[in-house]
Amino acid sequence: MIAFLARRLLWTVVTLWVVFTVSFILMRSVPGGPFSGERAIDPDIKRNFEARYHLDKPLVVQYGIMLSEYLRGDLGLPMKIRDFTINEIVAQGLPISAALGLLALLFALALGIPAGVVSAVRRGRPADVGVMTVATVGIALPEFVVAGLAIMLFVFVVPLFPAGGWGSWRQAVLPSICLGLPYAAYVARLTRTGMLDVLSQDYIRTARAKGLASTTVILRHALKGAMLPVVSYIGPATAGILTGSLVEEKIFAIPGIGVHLVEASFQRDYTLAMALTMLYTVLLLAMNFIVDLTYQMLDPRIKLDG
């Protein structure tokens, strides 16, 4: 475990440095800049802005200054948002984005796992065909299409939920469902595949030969092994949910960090876009670490140092 943690910490540091460096280079390589918009800025004001954000210095100096600030935990100041530091923006928006992502992930697991189990147990029957057909459609539909259909149906046709905002459980229902539906479809397919593989194992046949009830065999003996593909998928799913939440937050007017990342990209806000990119990277690395630990707990034959 100590060797695994040390190796993972080393690769985490290397990964963060690579992402930081590549992001810094790419942002500065795009033509234009944060202060070269359509509206002309007085040259003196522009020089003051550039001096404040160190844009008047060579790129190597800018790189060193930003890297040293990040090592101290200071994400700097946004270029387009006044009266707030990036740390304050993250402190306000991250809990909202995290809550939305967690709700979407829980919805995907709560819907996908039972659907996959039913599909595997009823293999070849109408229930199996129906579940897999719905899962295929769910995978094919983009998130913004699902969100648009949900708004038309549950906001205008049947007014059950508000069209946007954040603060009550009713405002969280639609964006969580729209964000989690495609991943529920993937989870259902993976659960079905894992369950079919486990149900063919010798220990399952032995459990059935002992006279155990079918429900007991499935829930107590087969389900744990069938979850291995799902657990492996949680890492990429978390990445997709985090990046997908940018679209959902924009559509449903949710004040998370995804909205700030979209705006920072359009407005070429170097400091804010850089900080949020690094934040997403840290979250994804942390989730992958948790997935590795969970995977080893479900199957002790898998060694962390392997």
What domains, with CATH codes, occur in the chain?
94-298 (1.10.3720.10)
Q: Is 259 in contact with 249 (CB distance < 8 Å)?
A: yes
**pTM of the predicted protein model:** 0.77
Question: How do the pLDDT tens digits run along the chain, 306 residues long?
Answer: 677 778 888 888 999 999 999 988 888 887 766 666 556 666 776 777 777 777 778 889 989 988 998 898 888 888 888 788 888 888 888 888 888 888 998 999 999 999 988 888 888 888 888 888 888 888 888 888 888 888 999 988 888 888 888 888 888 899 999 888 888 988 998 988 888 888 888 878 888 888 878 788 887 878 877 888 888 788 778 777 776 677 888 888 888 888 888 788 788 888 888 888 898 888 888 877 777 777 666 666 656 554
What pLDDT score does 225 carry? Answer: 78
What pLDDT score does 232 carry? Answer: 78
> Residue 278's closest CA among 76, 93, 95, 75?
75
What pLDDT score does 20 carry? Answer: 92
Name the one residue in this structure whose structure tokens are 């940018």: 246
What pLDDT score does 300 carry? Answer: 61
Give the distance from CA 26 to its chain's centroid.
22
What pLDDT score does 306 carry? Answer: 47
